[in-house]
Amino acid sequence: MRSSRASHGNELSKRDIVVIGASAGGVQALMEIVAGFPFNLAAAVFVVIHTSPTSPGVLPQILSRAGPVKAVQARNGEQIQLGRIYVAPVDHHLLIRDGHVAVSRGPKENGFRPAVDPLFRTAAVAYRERVVGVILSGGLDDGTSGLHEVKRYGGIAIVQDPAEAVSPSMPQSAVQNVDVDHVVTLAQIPGLIAQLAGRRAGKGTRIMPPRRRNLPDIAEVGSENLEAPDPAEPPTALTCPECGGALWEVQKERVLRFRCHLGHGYTGESLSEQQVKNIENAMWMAMRTLEESAALRRRLAERTRGSGMTLLASGYEEQAQAALDRAALIRAVLMEDKPARAVKSLRPSPKARERAGDKPHTRPNANPARVKAAKRSPVDGDGNGRTRLKSSQNKGARRS
């Protein structure tokens, strides 16, 4: 079957642009989803998964072997074809334009490149209500802001049930902060995507002029806060962990977000994570500097004592010992091996889960038998409604 190109189209186009974001545990989840796709999937699928800059970049081959839809590494300027999976290249952001793909080595977002937010954000701007956003297993909260943009422009938001995710933080954050349409198991996602791809999208909730759709994204050009006479966002006392520049707070979203003028972006959670890493690096650097200072002062003490300057040599030795004492304190903190304090895992509030169409049997403490039964049951709801996971108990109640 010849794949057709995805142009911007009219207001009654189908939901044929699918964007998927994942991190830890995401490769296996993607393989399960791709295995469930029909061979004639009427949508273009775009995938971002957090990877190391030195990764061999074999995800397209893995996904192509896992299912019937061909997966390729996205190329800058490539025209979008339906019935194809586009994977972000290693150490590059994957962005979507009106009719084609863009690949950029722009500033990292949430500490990652590729990052999920730029993909979702640009897809929402270019294709509005035709977009289906999917958040899978992963740490922290990359993708939450982007999924919010998908919803803001009229798209559909799907989230893997946090209860079954290898790393539940990303899906939990999405459920808590976005008006999610479907919270479902991995087994249900392929069918749901195929179902949505075959339906009309209707009008989007926010219309974007064509000129605005083709403007460069901040992941390509950075922001203009440094030159703007009156920046829209207030500056903060915080600095960017990547470049050391000032951070501006982005106030137009539910999630706390920051950006520097170079374009590095962070949620509050990812900024905190980067700061923790920087603190440890700074402590190791301080310990190294103190030990080097002690070694230098001991050499000075030896030379001055050999010249008969005993008093000066004693001063150098005292300074060396003081530096070693300080280094020992830092080493003790770094090497401390006491058990970490137990922290209750972050879970969606009951209202957030109900708003997303979740039911009690899908929650983390659910009975395994009920969850297994739910995985076998079909998805209930239309393309624009809330998905409900049916339990065998509910079916029995209806029969009676």
Which residue in the list 23, 137, 145, 391 is annotated as catalytic? Answer: 23
Q: What is the C-alpha to C-alpha distance for residues 200 and 193, in angstroms, rounded to an integer?
A: 13
Using an 8 Å Cβ cutoff, are 20 and 116 in contact?
no
- Half-sphere exposure of residue 117, counting CA atoms within 13 Å on the CB side? 28
Closest among 100, 98, 143, 99 to 119, alpha carbons compared: 143
Decide if 152 contacts 183 (C-beta within 8 A). no
Nearest to 350 by CA among 340, 336, 364: 364
Rounded CA separation 309/317 (Å):
13
Q: Which residues fall within 8 angstroms of residue 245, CB to CB, at 6 or more apart?
A: 239, 260, 261, 262, 264
Return left, alpha or beta for 273; rule: phi > 0 is left, psi -120 to 50 is alpha, else beta: alpha
Residue the block writes with tokens 């929650």: 363
Residue 339: CB atoms within 10 A of its CB come to: 5
- Residue pointed to by tokens 């995805």: 6
Choosing from 117, 142, 217, 358, the catalytic residue is 142
Mode of pairing for the β-strands spanning 131-135 and 93-96: unpaired
Q: At what angle do helices 368-376 and 392-399 cross, to 10 degrees?
A: 70
Distance from C-alpha of 394 to C-alpha of 372, rounded to nearest angstrom: 14
What whole-number distance in Å separates Cα of residue 400 and Cα of residue 389?
20
Q: Is 23 a catalytic residue?
A: yes
Query: Active site includes 270?
Result: no
Residue closest to 172 by CA, chosen among 357, 353, 360: 353
- Is 7 an annotated catalytic residue? no
Q: CB-side exposure of 316: number of CA atoms within 13 Å?
A: 17
Closest CA to 271 of 261, 260, 252, 257: 257
Helix (H, G, I), strand (E, B) or coil at 193: helix
Q: Which amino acid is at 6?
A: A
131-135 and 156-160 beta bridge pairing = parallel
Active site residue ranges? 23, 50, 142
